[in-house]
Structure 1
Amino acid sequence: MSSVKGMKPLLIVVVMMLSMSAWAAEQEAVTPLEAALVEQSADRDKTLEAFYAERDWRPVWQDPSTVTAFAEALHTLEGDGLSPSDYRPDALSEAHRRAWGDGEGDPQELADFELRTSHVLLTALRHLQKGKVDPQALDTGWEVPVEPPALDVASLSRHVDARRFEQAFADVRPSYPPYQRLRAGLARYQDIDQQGGWPTLPPLDGLLRPGDVHDAVPFLRERLAVIGEPGLAAADTTILPDAKLVAPDPFTYDEALTEAVERFQERHLLEVDGVVGPDTLAALNVPVGERIDQIRINLERTRWLLHGLPETFVLVDIAGYRVSYYRPNGDIWRSRIVVGQPYRRTPSLRSEITHLTVNPTWTIPPTIRREDVIPKIHRDLGYLERNNIRVLSYSGSELDPRSIDWQDPGKIMLRQEAGPENPLGRVVIRFPNDHMVYLHDTPAQQLFSRQQRAISSGCIRVENVMTLVQLLLDDTDTYRDIRALVAEGETRNVPLESHVPVILHYWTAHVGEEGELSFRPDIYDRDDELLEALDRPLVL
């Protein structure tokens, strides 16, 4: 027994010696390059450090063919509207040659090349996932708090080992159909550009109307044929009774061309009348290069926003003047909207619809109160009674309008009571945000017939809003109760049992489900600033 006890210390010593030997062997297995990677990555991007830690500090870029494959993949980012030159693909092979020489380089220099090249990779992935440009740098009111998911470094490590760089890009770019359709539209317009673009229509003396005979008609026909307008090929020939095919007069503005122009006008939010006037002519003569830039701008905006979307959400397309409600079963309800004027812009934001207000009162926002309403009251005190507006203190007490100096009214609130003249109509759809905007009904239904509808004070007026209310409630009994409340005229807040995400965003280029590209006027003058930022050379 005593001999067994005496063996225990010896066993402990042997185990310790074996453990130290294994530790020493592990240390010897770490190459000087790997040690340099551990050392240098500590002061760099945390994602970069996590990427190499996932690989147990194995280098990525030793083989020149891996570097070449990566450089080739970077050139494909042009298809996402990004500038491949930002990532210096053509300089990578030379940088590899300088670092590795004949195969034996300084570990510190090799680690620096490794980390710099992997930083390029991670930068490209980040730009694909969430955009190159910081939206808050362009708009301090940007209010979209949802971040895209963290990069899957394990999957990325497998992709780079297999040189599947384009697959790594595909994994992070937005997967939602609007982004994919914009990419397809960009490819189509880049191809048009490479083929020489489209013709420029000559100046017109007056208007070009259906049935006119004009030298500009062949240019118009070719311009629309280039972008794939259907019906034009069929209009090139006519079947006569003797079954012979003859070409129509190329200078005649015929019916097929008229229909193509009307479709073009509708997509570009122009008056749909088939008449080529100054606005339609200007839209037709925008060079293809500018349209390519417009698509690139809107791909960037889409990268800012389209990630982590639930099955059900409301999407407000500000520049396109429409709202869409995406339902879990795949159905999409759409309607026309009115948005803010250029000097009272509807903001971009992401929130959740929490409740409805039936028969709302309208507390007039400070800017509208100061700039629009108070001057009218100052000129005519009867404006208050005619518009059913009460004057309140900040504590909610009612004030006598005759006791107020309307040149300097001080701290007051103006509240319009519910009723047929209330600009919020029968119902308001509310969601928390710092801009005090919401979706609402309106008594001014005639505004929805306009093609361009940036005429509100910032909030969003919705056509057929009660249908949206019914869909949001998803409950026939509750909707019936709300209809009764509307009829009674009582102001009431109605909570939603399940909150519905809502996104307000600004797109000046859009691709429909059939692939048709629409370009909208840049009503808030945001495109040029974003394009300048997108094209600004990247400092890596």
Structure 2
Amino acid sequence: MTLNFDNKKIRLFFVSVMIVALYAVFSMTANQGHAQISPLLNDAGATTIALSVQQTSLNLDLDIVTAESEQIRHKVALQRFYEARDNQPYWINDSGVHSRAEAMYKIIDEAWTHGLNPHDYHYVDIYNLLEKNDRQSLADLELLLSDAFVRYAIDLSGKRLEPSALGLEMEGWKVPLNAPDVTHILLAHDFDAALDMVQPKGQTYRALRRELIRLVNQGPGEKEYLLPIEFTGILRPGSGHKAIPKIREYLGLEALKYNNTTYDDNLAAAVIRFQKENGLEADGVIGSNTLEVINRTNMRKIEQVIVNMERLRWVDTNRGDKFVIVNIPSATLWAIEGGRVAFEMPVIVGNPVRQTNLFNAKINGVRLNPDWTVPPTIKKFDILPKLQEDPGYVDDKGMELIQGYGADAVTLDPHSIDWKNISVRDLHSIRMVQVPGDHNPLGRYRVLMPNRHNIYLHDTNHKELFSRSERALSSGCVRMQNPRQMIDFLLKDADNMWDGDAVDSTLATYKKTDIDLNRTVPVSLLYYTTWLDDNGDIVYGNDIYGRDQKLLHLLRNIDGVFIPVHNERYTGARSDAHFSYNQ
């Protein structure tokens, strides 16, 4: 390696991977010239910073400064960032530390309010370096702040995990910015504007961030230190149980004299209100689901908020002006048009054994008078046992048994098949198709949204199930309470001939009819266990598929989960110590 110096500038030839140009300030009592810095990576991997300040009055060059620091993740991008700035520093100025460096430290200090871990952004080292003013420390600070901003922006802007780690499809989730994207934003915009461009902005995200701050400020409640309430079976109004006094206490009711163990009307009203606020069936009956939420600690709520903020960052908000969202845990569908909710409706989603998959797709049409081809799982585990008891079951349900396709397809007589000894292969070769009609499980409408899971939105012949608050009841597909509302919403993007009268007349024929849309409509089936109610208040719902803890475990493995301890309340100022760091 050769370094050639003259009185005008330093010329550096990079050995190994050159990472970035840096600046450090040298305080002088004499006239001060222009400063330039360029770092390189030596063979041992340490950051080497070459620094020179031309001091015309003293006519000398400063020595090369070497600094050992944390691993810099985004070396190539930062090298190009500083080259684009003519090797001028971003966080340091002639007076020492620029105000934006203090601002960036504050942002790192508050990264936990996004569910992120400040220690992923050189938190401790940056804090220590801010207290120093020697040229090596300032050079290290410049580099670490740039690297921290890039990593922070990447983490805020999209998924931090591979979807496959959660059993999800790889496609359709928001891809985070890469390091060159981030440095380009920083070059093209001032600091505040650059930060705003990478911050999530959705209403639900902002509400969850405020809730996370509130929960940490609140500190642990007494439930953190008490054994959970336990009992078997269910408690109904009018019944008695020794757990009743503790349930009253947990729900904020005054204790009754003589430690009364009767489930009275006052407690029933509090339970119903609590169930409504937490997305449970508001029937006043305390079963396992209600008891689990009653026992939920403040720390459990904090973890629930963190995993849902993570999920929100996975979803691309640039879906266009018309799209459909289904949240599986709340069993709710929203149709969005022009930035507003066109309508919201209850839906029925897959049960915990036959779960509704999470994915993104495109709606390309609708089907009136759908027939229903029985899925393999339902055919094997639901229909076959009934056929073994009574081969006439398919006739009663209006089903046809079809083998083969097209011109080779033949209709089979159910009484001619030995259902008790049928092989798996032969069963698989038989298609069970239920003809269109009011008795069809798909009802009269189906939304066409091709996907590899064969999951779709449809009508149902069991409308009574929508009266339930907990609606994880289907075999995977999503049943709509008001399918006609959805069909009319979608058909605005079909040919003009498909008005309400045309739909009604087609339905009356009971003939399967597909209608193509002129443009596709995005649809996302998502999984949020916290959401906003109609008043904008946060609902802590049930984790119906047990996905929260799996995601939390993965986040702990990649970055740790960082939560300030309860005696260091969030104030927006530096919180230098006393943090709980869960790895």
Matching of residue 125 in structure 1 with residue 153 in structure 2: yes
DSSP 3-state at the match of 2:410: coil
Give the Cα separation in 1 of the matches to 2:123 and 2:499: 59
Trace 1:134-145 onto structure 2 (pairs within 5 A): 134-145=162-173
* Alignment equivalent of 1:91, drawn from 125, 145, 149: 125
- Any idea what SS the aligned residue of 1:529 has? helix
Question: Shift of residue 336 of structure 1?
Answer: 1.0
Give the C-alpha shift of residue 57 in structure 1: 3.9
The aligned length equals: 487
**Is residue 326 of structure 1 aligned with residue 344 of structure 2?**
no
- Checking the alignment, whether the CA contact within 8 Å between 1:34 and 1:59 is kept in structure 2 is no
Q: Is 1:55 the equivalent of 2:85?
A: yes
Question: Kindly tell me: are residues 440 and 277 of structure 1, through their superposed partners in 2, closer, same or farther at Cα, counting changes over 3 Å?
Answer: closer
Q: C-alpha displacement at 1:82, in angstroms?
A: 1.8
Deviations 1:85-134 (A, max 9, x none): 3334012244689xx983158xxx958x7555433321211111113333
**1:330, CA displacement in angstroms?**
2.3
What per-residue deviation string (whole Å, max 9, x for no partner) do you get for residues 256-300 of structure 1? 765443222123333313354554333212111101101111111
Which of the numbers 213, 221, 227 marks the counterpart of 1:187? Answer: 213
Query: Counterparts in 2 of 1:297-308, with a 5 A limit?
Result: 297-308=307-318
Aligned position for 1:80 = 114
Q: What stretches of structure 2 of length at least 5 have no aligned partner?
A: 1-7, 13-20, 22-34, 42-46, 49-70, 561-583
Question: TM-score, with normalisation over the residues of structure 2?
Answer: 0.72
Counterpart in the other structure of 1:6: none
Does the CA contact (< 8 Å) of 2:174 and 2:316 recur in 1? no
Aligned to 2:554, which of 530, 533, 539?
533
| Contact 2:326–2:334 (8 Å) recurs in 1 | yes
| Structure 2: distance between partners of 1:56 and 1:383 | 80
- State the AA in 1 paired with 2:431: M
User: With structure 1 as the length reference, what TM-score do the two structures score?
Assistant: 0.77
> Is 1:497 the equivalent of 2:518?
yes
Encode CA deviations 1:435-494: one digit per residue, 9 max, x unaligned.
Answer: 111100000111112222212111100001111111222379523211211111011001
Give the C-alpha shift of residue 499 in structure 1. 2.1
1:391-437: per-residue Cα shift (whole Å, max 9, x none)?
Answer: 22342302434665641215332222112221111010111211111
Q: What is the aligned partner in structure 1 of residue 59 from structure 2? A: none
Give 1:39-438 correspondences, 5 Å limit. Answer: 44=74, 47-48=77-78, 51-62=81-92, 63-64=96-97, 67-94=101-128, 102-103=134-135, 117-145=145-173, 147=175, 151=181, 153-157=183-187, 164=192, 168-193=194-219, 207=235, 209=237, 223-224=250-251, 258-276=268-286, 279-328=289-338, 330-396=340-406, 397-401=409-413, 406=419, 407-408=422-423, 409=426, 411-438=429-456
User: 8 Å contact 2:400–2:434 — kept in the other structure?
Assistant: yes
The CA distance in 2 between the partners of 1:42 and 1:524, in whole Å, is: 39
Decide whether aligned partners of structure 1 residues 440 and 46 sit closer, same or farther in structure 2, where only a CA change above 3 A counts: farther
Report the residue type matching 1:282 in the other structure.
Answer: E
Give the whole-Å Cα distance in 2 for the aligned partners of 1:249 and 1:324.
49
Query: Does structure 2 retain, via aligned residues, the 8 Å contact 1:128–1:169?
Result: no
Q: 1:45 to 1:388 in 2, by over 3 A?
A: farther
Measured in 1, the distance between the counterparts of 2:384 and 2:504 equals 34
In 1, Cα distance between the equivalents of 2:231 and 2:400? 55
1: distance between equivalents of 2:430 and 2:398? 16
**CA distance in 2: counterparts of 1:215 and 1:493, whole angstroms:** 56
The offset of 1:519, in angstroms, is 1.9
Give the superposed CA RMSD.
4.1
Which 5+ residue runs of structure 1 have no aligned equivalent? 1-24, 226-231, 237-246
1:23-44 deviation line (CA, Å, top 9, x unaligned): xx9996997733649x999995
Which region of structure 1 is more displaced relative to structure 2, 418-427 or 190-199?
A: 190-199
Asked if 1:480 is matched to 2:501, the reply is yes
CA distance in 1, matches of 2:386, 2:287: 38
Which amino acid in the other structure matches residue 441 of structure 1?
A: D
Q: Aligned in 2, Cα 1:131/1:57: closer, same or farther, shift over 3 Å?
A: farther
Higher alpha-carbon deviation: 474-483 or 279-288? 474-483
Residue 37 of structure 2 corresponds to 33
- 1:302-353 Cα offsets, whole Å, 9 max, x none, are 1111421323211101111111111226243111111112222211111221
C-alpha distance in 2 between matches for 1:169 and 1:222: 44
How far apart are the structure 2 equivalents of 1:348 and 1:80? Answer: 23
CA 1:214–1:145: 2 relative to 1, 3 Å = closer
Distance 1:194 1:440, change over 3 A: same
Aligned letter for 2:446?
Answer: V
Q: Distance in 1 between matches of 2:386 and 2:203?
A: 48
CA–CA separation in structure 2 for the residues paired with 1:156 and 1:513: 38
**SS class of match (2:146):** helix
Paired residue for 1:516?
537
Deviation, structure 1 residue 357: 0.7
Question: Distance between the aligned counterparts of 1:394 and 1:315, measured in 2?
Answer: 37
| CA–CA distance in structure 2, aligned partners of residues 431 and 461 of structure 1 | 14
Residue type at the aligned position of 1:496: L
Q: Percent identity at matched positions?
A: 29
Where 2:454 maps in the other structure, the secondary structure is coil
Which has more helix, going by share of residues? Answer: 1
Call closer, same or farther: CA 1:403–1:204 in 2, change over 3 Å: closer
- In structure 2, relative to structure 1, the CA distance for the partners of 1:50 and 1:351 (3 Å cut) is farther
AA in 2 matched with 1:317:
N
Give the direction of change, closer, same or farther, for the CA distance of 1:344–1:389 in structure 2 (3 Å limit).
Answer: same
